[in-house]
Amino acid sequence: MYREIDCIKGDGASFELEKHPVIEEMPLAVKVNGRQALTAMISPDMLREFVIGFLYTEGIIKGIDEIESIKIEDSNASVLTTNPFKILASKKTVLSGCGGTMSYLDIAKLPEIRSSLTIDSQTIRNSVKEGLDSQLHVLTGGIHVVALYNSDGRMYAVEDIGRHNALDKIIGYALENNIDLSSTYIICSGRISSEMARKCLIANIPIVVSRGATTTLTVDIARSRGLTIVGFVRSKKMNIYSGGERITDIPPSMPELLPEKEEEEENETA
């Protein structure tokens, strides 16, 4: 996941030649049914899970049973599905910086969350503290973390240069292990983007939590489709932007004060 790279380290007026751990990044080219579908800049682990999660959140497959085979060699992945004519409308390049390639998003066509999961605010704080404790991030300073939780605690955590990559890996892991995502929530280290909200809606993950920020479009999507967004979870503080009814210890009247998205605003540019 990282290599020691020679560099010149400066400290005030002092400079020394040293080695520093730098996170690895690689291109992964994905072919689906013989056609080029995707090139992703990605951390070089859990590539199979990434491919599964990406194909699922892009609607190429509806479940893992629709995959006949996945073959990964070096920086190339080849997938055969039960529907040989199903493929992305156009080739995509997923960059490590953002991971999203949407240009237009019709919120009304996104699925709504179907889940009875609830948690309390202290559980959220504890999960963020535990789930984002990454030694690799401490070592390199160049990694995102996405952790999957249920009511019993942490189920799995993924580290990747891109938070969208990490989310796809988590979803792919869950599909391979037959995990009911409607009873889970995720903790992420970076900004909660509209693309992450879209992926969670498709996977039916009801709660997304971050120690960072979110965006207006993410909140619009979440309020419209029943997704709970919690940001800036730091120490005793947090911002609940949508789906407050899933947080059990806030006053009962508070979730009703969060406005729902107006119908005429449902078509947005991502």
Annotation says 98 is catalytic: yes
The alpha carbon of 210 is separated from its chain's Cα centroid by a whole number of angstroms, namely 11
How far, in Å, CA of 114 to CA of 136, rounded?
35
Burial class (CB in 10 A: 0-12, 13-18, 19+), 242: buried
* Residues whose CB is less than 8 angstroms from the CB of residue 183 and which lie 6 or more positions away in sequence, other chains included: 115, 117, 150, 151
Task: Count the residues in the chain.
Answer: 270
Could you tell me the two tokens for 181?
């995502």
DSSP labels for 81-131?
ESSTT---SS-EEE-TTT----S-EEGGGSPPP-----B-HHHHHHHHHHH
Enzyme catalytic residues:
98
